């Protein structure tokens, strides 16, 4: 019996330190490699640091709510974490991955029934609770977008009126030689649509280039895979449709001014 206890003690004394996983950014900044031994203690506990072996390096999922916090992440086995913290059977937060088809509501109710005071949220509800800031930012962006579109529409209308005014004599000549009001009207509207669609295409192209520059800069700055600016197909289609609509309206307003002036007066300054 004493021999057995002696062997067990020797094995315990010679057992390698437990393993941990460290986040890539931490591994690069220290630097740490797999197989390195580190000594860890909880700041609040005041306990003696314990050795751990780096068993792996992981990439933390990109999370916009944590991007500005300069935190590093280390993953322990749960018993080791309890040892380090000096507290047992205590968990602040944990995530549960459900099997495909499992009901998140049923799982949440079951978990809440396990321990009094536990609150369980589905991922969608949790995202709603934690993304209030982003919703405000998104509304702010939408407001900027609407103001930009309104300003662009006014600018476009002014451009079309100036362009048409510059060519009033030509328009007058066309009407004098018998070109119908409809043809003059359509040509101006088509020109305006052409200008706005070309502008939308150029804007979308410029947006894609700028988004790539912005993303490259912040990816480097925050060392993240998050993308800060996106030009999606939906945005491109929306820009093209807005171009069509705004061009048609601006062209129609500019054309209306011309076709309602007698042709012989279009040559007057």
Q: Which of 36, 136, 169, 216 binds another protein (CB under 8 A)?
A: 169
Residue 236: how many other CB atoms lie within 10 Å: 17
Binding segment (CB under 8 A) for another protein, from list 56-64, 105-113, 170-178, 208-216? 170-178
123-146 in b/e burial notation, b at 16+ Cβ within 10 A?
eeeeeeeeeeeeeeeeeeeeeeee
Strand blocks (E) in 41-77: 50-58, 74-76
What would the two tokens of residue 201 be? 């295409």
Per CB under 8 A, 194 contacts another protein:
no
Per CB under 8 A, 170 contacts another protein:
yes
Nearer to another protein, 223 or 268 (CB): 268
Q: Which of 177, 232, 233, 269 binds another protein (CB under 8 A)?
A: 177
* DSSP labels, 159-185: HHHHHHHHTHHHHHHHHHTT--HHHHH
Residue 263: DSSP 8-state: G
Nearer to another protein, 25 or 168 (CB): 168
- For residue 156, give the nearest of 189, 124, 133 by alpha carbon: 189
Per CB under 8 A, 165 contacts another protein:
no
Q: Which of 61, 100, 117, 178 binds another protein (CB under 8 A)?
A: 178
Q: Which of 52, 175, 200, 249 binds another protein (CB under 8 A)?
A: 175
Residue 34: how many other CB atoms lie within 10 Å: 13
Per CB under 8 A, 179 contacts another protein:
yes
Residues found near another protein in the complex (CB under 8 A) = 169-170, 172-173, 175-181, 183, 262-264
């Amino acid at each position: 019996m004493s021999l057995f206890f002696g062997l067990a003690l020797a094995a315990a004394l010679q057992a390698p330190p437990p393993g941990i996983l460290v986040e890539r950014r931490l591994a690069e900044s220290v630097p740490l490699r797999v197989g390195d031994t580190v000594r860890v203690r909880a700041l609040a506990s005041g306990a003696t640091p314990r050795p751990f072996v780096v068993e792996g390096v992981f990439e933390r999922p990109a999370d916009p709510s944590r991007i500005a916090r300069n935190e590093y992440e280390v993953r322990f086995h749960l018993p080791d974490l309890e040892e380090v913290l000096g507290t047992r059977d205590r968990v602040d937060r944990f995530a549960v991955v459900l099997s495909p088809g499992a009901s998140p509501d049923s799982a949440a109710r079951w978990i809440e029934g396990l321990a009094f005071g536990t609150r369980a949220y589905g991922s969608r509800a949790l995202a709603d609770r934690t993304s209030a800031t982003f919703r405000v930012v998104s509304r702010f962006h939408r407001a900027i977008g609407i103001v930009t579109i309104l300003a662009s529409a006014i600018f476009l209308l002014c451009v079309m009126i100036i362009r048409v005014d510059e060519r009033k004599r030509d328009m007058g000549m066309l009407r004098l030689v018998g070109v119908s009001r409809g043809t003059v009207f359509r040509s101006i509207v088509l020109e305006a649509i052409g200008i706005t669609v070309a502008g939308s295409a150029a804007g979308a192209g410029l947006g894609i280039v700028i988004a790539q520059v912005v993303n490259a800069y912040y990816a480097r700055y925050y060392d993240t895979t998050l993308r800060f600016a996106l030009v999606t197909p939906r945005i491109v289609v929306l820009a093209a449709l807005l171009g069509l609509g705004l061009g048609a309206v601006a062209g129609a307003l500019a054309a209306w001014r011309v076709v309602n002036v007698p042709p012989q007066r279009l040559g007057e300054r």
